[in-house]
Amino acid sequence: MTKHERPAGGAPVSKDSARIRVNGLGKHYGTLEVFRNVSFDVGEREIVAIVGPSGCGKTTLLRCIDGLLPVDEGEIWFDQQRVTSPLPGVAMVFQHFGLFPWKTVYDNVAYGLRMAGAPQAEIDKRVPEFVKLVGLAGFEKAYPYQISGGMQQRCGLARALAVEPSVLLMDEPFAAVDAQTREILQFELLRIWEQRPTAMIFVTHSIEEAVLLGHRVIVLKGRPSGIYETIKIELPHPRTRATLREPRFAELRERVWGTLMAEAQKAEFELEKP
Amino acid sequence: MLRNTLSRRLPFFASLFAGMALWEIVGRNSSPAFMVPLSETLARFWQLVDNGQFPAQFLDSATLFLTGLGLAIVVGMPLGMLLARIPAVRLALDPYIMTLYATPMVALIPFILSIMGFGFAPKVLVVFLFAVFPVLYNTVEGARSIKPELIEVARSFRSSEWSLWREVMVPYTLPFCMTGVRQAIGRGLVGMVAAEFFLSSTGLGQLIMSSSQNFDTSGVFAMILMIGLIGVGLMRIGSMIENHFARWRV
C-alpha cells in the first residue's frame, strides 16, 4: 500500500515505542471462524510469545501479520504503514525452514537481500557476517540436504536477519528439530537478540520456550480463538541457562500451563457433549 | 581396484561377449538374405565410413534430430511452466495434450505429408511432435509439484513475479524438464528414423532403406547397430544432464 492510499487519519496513536499494532483482528476460512477480536502491541525491543493449543490459529495470525494472508476484520500496523502485503522491515522464520534446496547456504542467506534489491557489494559483505553470526561459518557452500535440521534453521534465521528487519516473525521455528538442538537454538536466539534487539513475535506450542523467550506471553484460546490472557514475564535479562533454574521461571511456567490446561480440559468436555 | 571393478562388471562383459559370439555363429549359419555375422556387419560399416556415405548421412540425420529436439525443448519447457502457473490454460489445453501424447505419432505422418509435402520442415515437425510431449508433460507435473511453502517464502521476502520464476520456479522445475528431455531423446530418435523412412528419404533412414532395397543385408545391420549405439549414447548423456540438475533432489 502506498502512502496515498492510506485511510484518512493515519495510524492509530498508541504507545510511541510500539512497532507492531494489531487491532481487533478477525479471520475466517469460509464458515470457520479462526480467531476474533485479537488486539496487542509489540514494542521496538520486545519479544511477544504466542502460545495456544494446536489449531487455535496462531500460525494463521502470524501469516496475517506478515501480510501473507488477508484479514477479515481489524487492522495491522507496522510503524506508520498498514499491513496488507509483506512489507520491507519484517522478516519471517518458518517452521519448515523454507530453504531453497537448490541453493547453497550462502545463496539461501543472500536470497532476502537479493529480493530487497541490495547491491552485490553489500550482499558480499553482509552474507558472511550473518552466516558467522548464526554459527554456520565454513558451511557456506553446503546444500540444505547436506546439513542437519538445526543447521538448516540457523540458515533460515540468518536469511531473515540478513535483511536487518525491525520485526522478526517466528513461526514455531524450533518445532521441527530434536530436543537438545532446540534448547541450543533457543539460547542462540537469545544471544543474537541481545546483540541486535528487534521486535519479535514468537509463535510456539512449547510453554517453556514461550516463558524463556517472551517478555510477554499471549495465550490464545477458544473457538473461535481470542486472547485469553497476557502474562508479563518479569525475568531478568540476559536470559541464560540459569534462568531455567529460577523459582520465578517455574512459577510463570506453571501459570501459563494452568491457563492453557483449563482451556484444554474445557474443550475436551465440550467434545464429549452429545 | 581395477581387478575389483572388472569382477563386478563380469556379468556385463560376459553377456556382451556371448551376444556377439551368438550373432557371429547364427550369422555364419544362415542365409545372407536374412542375417549376416557381426564381423561382416562391422566390415561393411567400416566401408560405409570409408567411402564417406555414413559420415554424410549421419550429419544429415544429426541436423534433423537436433533441430527437432531443440525445438521441443524450447517450446515444451516454457509452455509447461506456463501451464503449471495458470490453471485455466492448463485445464483448457489438457484434453489436447493428453490425446496427442497418447496418439502414436507415426499415425500423423501421412497427414503431415499431405499438408507439408517433402523437405526439411515436415521432417523436423515429426521429430518435434515425437519429442515435445515428454518435455511438456514432465515440466508441467514438475512445476505443479513445487511446495506451496517455498512460494510463500518468496512472497514473504517480497519477490516479484519475475524473480519468483527466476529464483524458484525455473530452478525447481529444471530437473523434471531434464527427465522429460531424456525421454524425448529416445522418442526423437524414433521420430527421426520414421521421418526419414516415410517423408523425403535422407540420412541414416535412407541408408537403411537403400541397403535393404539393394539386398545389402550387412549394410542394414550396420545401420541398425549404429542407430542403436547412438541411442544408447544419447540416453547416457541425457541421464548425465538429468543427474547434474538434480543434485539437490534427494
The minimal CB distance from A98 to the residues B150, B247, B250 is found for B150
Average pLDDT on A151-168 reads: 94
pLDDT of residue A214: 94
| Domain presence at residue B43 | no
Residues of the domain holding A21 = 3-85+199-272
The residues with which A26 forms a beta bridge, in sequence order, are A73
- pTM score: 0.79
| Domain presence at residue A255 | yes
CATH code, domain carrying A43: 3.40.50.300
Predicted confidence band of residue A126 (pLDDT cuts 50, 70, 90)? very high
What is the C-alpha separation between B240 and A101, in angstroms, rounded?
20
| Domain presence at residue B38 | no
The closest alpha carbon to A225, from A61, A71, A49, A104, belongs to A61
Residues of the domain holding B147 = 63-245
Strands A226-232 and A216-221: antiparallel
Predicted confidence band of residue A271 (pLDDT cuts 50, 70, 90)? low
| Alpha-carbon distance B140 to nearest alpha carbon in chain A (angstroms) | 19
| Domain presence at residue B96 | yes
CATH code, domain carrying B170: 1.10.3720.10
What pLDDT digit, counting tens, does each position of B144-199 carry? 888 899 999 999 999 999 999 999 999 999 989 988 998 999 899 999 999 998 88
pLDDT of residue A4: 43
pLDDT of residue B239: 87
What pLDDT digit, counting tens, does each position of A72-96 carry? 999 999 998 999 999 999 999 999 9
**Per-residue DSSP letters for B89-153?**
HHHHHHHHHHHHHHS-GGGGHHHHHHHH-SSHHHHHHHHHHHHHHHHHHHHHHHHHTS-HHHHHH
Average pLDDT on B205-219 reads: 89
Residue owning grid cell 521420430: B191
Q: How many domains does chain B have?
A: 1
What would you report as the CA-atom Rg of chain B, rounded to the nearest whole angstrom? 22
Predicted confidence band of residue A270 (pLDDT cuts 50, 70, 90)? low
| Domain presence at residue B35 | no
| Domain presence at residue A16 | yes
**Chain A interface, Cβ < 8 Å to B:** 66, 68, 86-88, 91-92, 94, 96, 98, 100-103, 111-112, 114-116, 143-145, 163
If residue A211 lies in a helix (H) or strand (E), which one and from where to where?
helix A207-213
Q: How many domains does chain A have?
A: 1
Under an 8 A CB cutoff, do A101 and B247 touch? Answer: no
For CA atoms B98, B101, B104, B106, the dihedral sign is positive
ipTM of the complex, rounded to two decimals: 0.85
| Domain presence at residue B77 | yes
pLDDT of residue B250: 59
Residues 149-168 of B with CB under 8 A from A: 149-150, 152-159, 163, 167-168
Q: Is the pLDDT of residue A2 over 60?
A: no
Measured between CA atoms, the residue of chain A closest to residue B151 is A98
For residue A99, give the C-alpha cell.
Answer: 530453504
- Cα distances (Å, whole numbers) of residue B225 to A6, A235, B228, B232: 74, 80, 5, 11
What pLDDT digit, counting tens, does each position of B216-244 carry? 899 999 999 999 899 899 888 888 888 88
Instruction: Please give the span between the terminal C-alpha atoms of chain A, in angstroms, as a whole number.
Output: 48
Weakest mean pLDDT among A16-20, A171-175, B168-172, B201-205: A16-20
| Domain presence at residue B58 | no
Predicted confidence band of residue B34 (pLDDT cuts 50, 70, 90)? confident
| Domain presence at residue B68 | yes
| Domain presence at residue B69 | yes
Total number of residues shown for chain A: 274
**Per-residue DSSP letters for A70-127?**
--SEEEEEETTEE-SS--TTEEEE-TT----TTS-HHHHHHHHHHHTT--HHHHHHHH
Q: Is the pLDDT of residue A8 over 50?
A: no
Average pLDDT on A212-238 reads: 90
What pLDDT digit, counting tens, does each position of B71-94 carry? 999 999 999 998 988 889 989 998
| Domain presence at residue A260 | yes
What is the C-alpha separation between A23 and A11, in angstroms, rounded?
11
For residue B158, give the C-alpha cell.
Answer: 517480497
